Amino acid sequence: MGEQPASKPKKAAKESKSANRAASAPAPAPGASATPGTSAKAPAKKAVKKTVAKKAAAKKAVPAKATAKETAAKKAPAKKAPANPAKAAKAAQTAKVAKAAKTTPARPAKPAKPESHLSMVRRARRINRELADVYPYAHPELDFRNPFELLVATVLSAQTTDLRVNQTTPALFAAYPTPEDLAVADPEAVEQLIRPTGFFRAKTKSIMGLAAALRDDFGGNVPGRLDDLVKLPGVGRKTANVVLGNAFGVPGITVDTHFGRLVRRWKWTDEEDPVKVEAVVAEIFPKSEWTMLSHRVVFHGRRICHARKPACGACPIAPLCPAYGEGETDPEKAKKLLKYEKGGFPGQRLSPPPDYPGLPAPPLGAG
């Protein structure tokens, strides 16, 4: 009985120590669990993870909305075009111009550097060499057997084709083979024979007049001098040069419509007068080249470099031509524009020279 009061003081001491430890421990953070062994930082980490997850979900939701809008825009019906086609075309053109103005800034065109005279001469001579390779068979395209026939045929070739002259002269020369025969012919009979060449009355007067002059002044022979030839009726400088160059071997430049047109297109000269054109071209080339140069240029003008629609895409001297692009540049389309032997058609002569690669022309009335 006397030991019971002694145990009570020990129990009170233990309770006092526990109370002191509890008082000295830090207070738990708000919302923290009172479970022993759980850290106070754990709730904060969970809150951060939840925030990050919400932001990621928000980001994913934005493309989904955009996709929904795009789908709706695709499904939406297109806006109706204006009822007036002219207004629609004008609006489209305006939009096109506006777009081009934004993407391509306007730039002033640079003026081309003028070609020097020396460069032009070099280019002209190179063109002549190139044409010599293309047309090694170039020749006068009038049928003739002697100077008299060439003289008459050249006079008849004015305002018509060489082909038509070649189809006409066989009957004429069969009836009047010499100047003496033609000088005394019946004008009406001559007119009927040369009618296909056009301007037959004026041409009859010219060829009968020159025949009489040859008979009276030159003993029935064609003179071999320019000054004498140009005095004959219907004979000008061009005709005289044709006769001199091809019947007598005297160099001459023949400025016909093809020759004048091409040398201006090639910028050899701007002259229009045939005599001035001849003088300018004569300064560019040596005299030995004059006759063949004339043939090559005329051949090229008739076959490829046409007046209205040149076949630029099939032209062998296109890199040397300042007028390239005036005609058809597509090679396949340009081939269809080629004439005579270049296009696979007959030439202009009924009796072409042996080295001519094309077909002879058909006689008059042969279809």
- The single residue listed with the structure tokens 């919400």 is 54
Catalytic residue chosen out of the listed positions 186, 256, 287, 336: 256
For 244-272, b/e burial (b = at least 16 CB within 10 A) is: bbbbeebbbbbbbebbbebbebbebbebe
| Known catalytic membership, residue 256 | yes
Backbone angles phi, psi at 98, to 5 degrees: -65, -40
Greatest alpha-carbon pair distance for the chain in Å reads: 192
Catalytic residue chosen out of the listed positions 143, 162, 203, 238: 238
153 burial via Cβ count (<10 Å: 0-12, 13-18, 19+): buried
Q: Which amino acid is at 226?
A: L
Positions annotated as catalytic residues are: 238, 256
